[in-house]
Structure 1
Amino acid sequence: MTVQDIRAFNRFYTNAIGALDYGRHLYAPYTLTESRVLYELAHAPRTDAADLRAELSLDAGYLSRILNKFEREGLVERGPSERDPRRRSVTLTPRGRDAAGLLEERARESVGRLLLSLPPADRPRLADAMRTVREILSEGRAPRPEDVVLRGPGPGDLGWIVQRNGAVYAAEYGWNADYEGLVARIVAGFAEDHDPALERVWIAELDGRPVGSVMCVRDEAPATARLRLLLVGPEARGLGIGDRLVRAVVDFARGAGYRDLVLWTNDVLGGARRIYQCHGFALVAEQPHHSFGKDLVGQDWRLNLGEPGAGRDEKRE
């Protein structure tokens, strides 16, 4: 391979995805770099300007000009970092999140059209080839927490939740197909009838593949939301994904006006229970039962969203 081979591929790929075609309004009214900054701000759990500069390999002055522009337009707010007062944190305003969401929607539609133009048999080959490029150019670097993106579900993701839950719990706990059936019913109910303002699904994505998920749905009790189907695949554990998914549910439920957030789990799921406890959930009831081919102890947990500071681990903040 020569330098010209790589340059030729770069020219071909940027044309294929429309990165240079401003007429498609993919990034308008922002430049490609500005759009990428908005993307990072929308998907990172916490962002300091220094981290953003390092992640994107941007010149400090260039990034500062972009952030100044965003601040003038009401897209971002800046203030002292919670982790280090010497640093500056950057967060999106509601207007900024709307702008980032519009860009995300355009990008997904553009890539979706590209994939639809390909024969179905070629799509896995393309994904594998792109994954190979990333692995080689990253020099075998281990995944980092900032490599994980939380997003809404796309086509096929709800089916993935069912399949992955069934496979992981069968492999790790020996649960039978009854559990996969339960997950399928929960997911089908969400897909058929949900209120986007009050119910939501998050997918954790790493290297273009889903590796985790969680749901927030309405409970039968008034002003109560229910956290359901928290899952992090074994290939992505240790990156803080479970914590981020639960935090996303807590923040969403509080913002949607729920008073309480509840969940049901089993005592064998120790890792998940520790995450719930870190976010302020309290055990309110437990009951032995025989389900999924096993003798288990079911547990009900509750978080009061109305209490100041509820759901926050002060040590981590």
Structure 2
Amino acid sequence: MSDVEIRPPRPEEYAAAGEVTVQAYDADGHLVAGIGYDVELRDVARRVQQAEVLVAVDETGEVLGTVTVVRPESDYAEVSRPGELEFRMLAVAPSARGRGIGEALTRAVLDRARALGARRVVLSSQEGMRSAHRLYERLGFTRLAERDWQVLPHITLIAYQIDV
């Protein structure tokens, strides 16, 4: 991973980070038509105002992946509580998969949680995001079933946690 840098995005990279996120969700069939989530996924400029966004870029500056780091009780918080850090919208460009970028971004979130003094990192994920679930479980995340919730009657999000 020495050829990939993880850092906050620059303003000129916001559009690319948003597109990578939409492409990743769409490639895996996780965008539901008609609910407008693609608009939220693209809006990196708004996310950087309300949360912390990280990108993975290669040596040419191409955005390969992104994740949004969320504090409890912020506008983007879904399942976090005081003392926890949450992450959302982990995405890797379909063309960059298999290079460890998702793992590197997740580890960066864990490092950020430690730096902020959080005791736990939590997240919620669509039931069908099986490859993401395998990554989380391989890194030591465990299910947090009591925080599972439904966005819409047909979309259930399942929660995971890891102590840091």
Select the structure that is richer in strand.
2
Q: How does 1:84-103 map to 2 (within 5 A)?
A: none
In the alignment, which residue of structure 2 is the partner of 1:270? 130
Q: Relative to 1, partners in 2 of residues 1:174 and 1:303: Cα closer, same or farther, differing over 3 Å?
A: closer
When the two structures are aligned, how many residues end up with a matched partner? 152
CA contact (8 A) 1:201 1:216 kept: yes
TM-score (norm 2): 0.79
**2: CA distance between counterparts of 1:192 and 1:216?**
12
Please tell me the residue identity of whatever aligns with 1:304. D
Instruction: State whether structure 2 residue 23 is matched by structure 1 residue 167.
Output: yes
Instruction: State whether structure 2 residue 23 is matched by structure 1 residue 202.
Output: no
Task: Report the secondary structure of 1:153's partner residue.
Answer: coil
State the structure with bigger RCO (CA 8 A, min sep 6), 1 or 2.
Answer: 2
Q: What's the Cα RMSD here? A: 2.3
Q: Of the two, which has the highest radius of gyration?
A: 1
TM-score (norm 1): 0.43
**2: CA distance between counterparts of 1:287 and 1:174?**
16
How many Å apart are 1:212 and its aligned residue?
0.4
**1: CA distance between counterparts of 2:149 and 2:122?**
16
**1: CA distance between counterparts of 2:42 and 2:61?**
24
Task: Report the secondary structure of 2:102's partner residue.
Answer: helix
In the alignment, which residue of structure 2 is the partner of 1:158? 14
**1: CA distance between counterparts of 2:72 and 2:151?**
22
CA contact (8 A) 2:149 2:158 kept: yes
Q: Relative to 1, partners in 2 of residues 1:152 and 1:192: Cα closer, same or farther, differing over 3 Å?
A: closer
In the alignment, which residue of structure 1 is the partner of 2:39? 181
Percent identity, aligned pairs only, is: 30
Gaps of 5+ in 2: 74-80
In the alignment, which residue of structure 2 is the partner of 1:147? 3
**2: CA distance between counterparts of 1:151 and 1:216?**
12
How many Å apart are 1:254 and its aligned residue?
1.1
Which of 83, 93, 96 matches 1:236? 96
Instruction: State whether structure 2 residue 153 is matched by structure 1 residue 301.
Output: no
Select the structure that is richer in helix.
1
In the alignment, which residue of structure 1 is the partner of 2:47? 190
Q: Relative to 1, partners in 2 of residues 1:256 and 1:166: Cα closer, same or farther, differing over 3 Å?
A: same
CA contact (8 A) 1:223 1:260 kept: yes
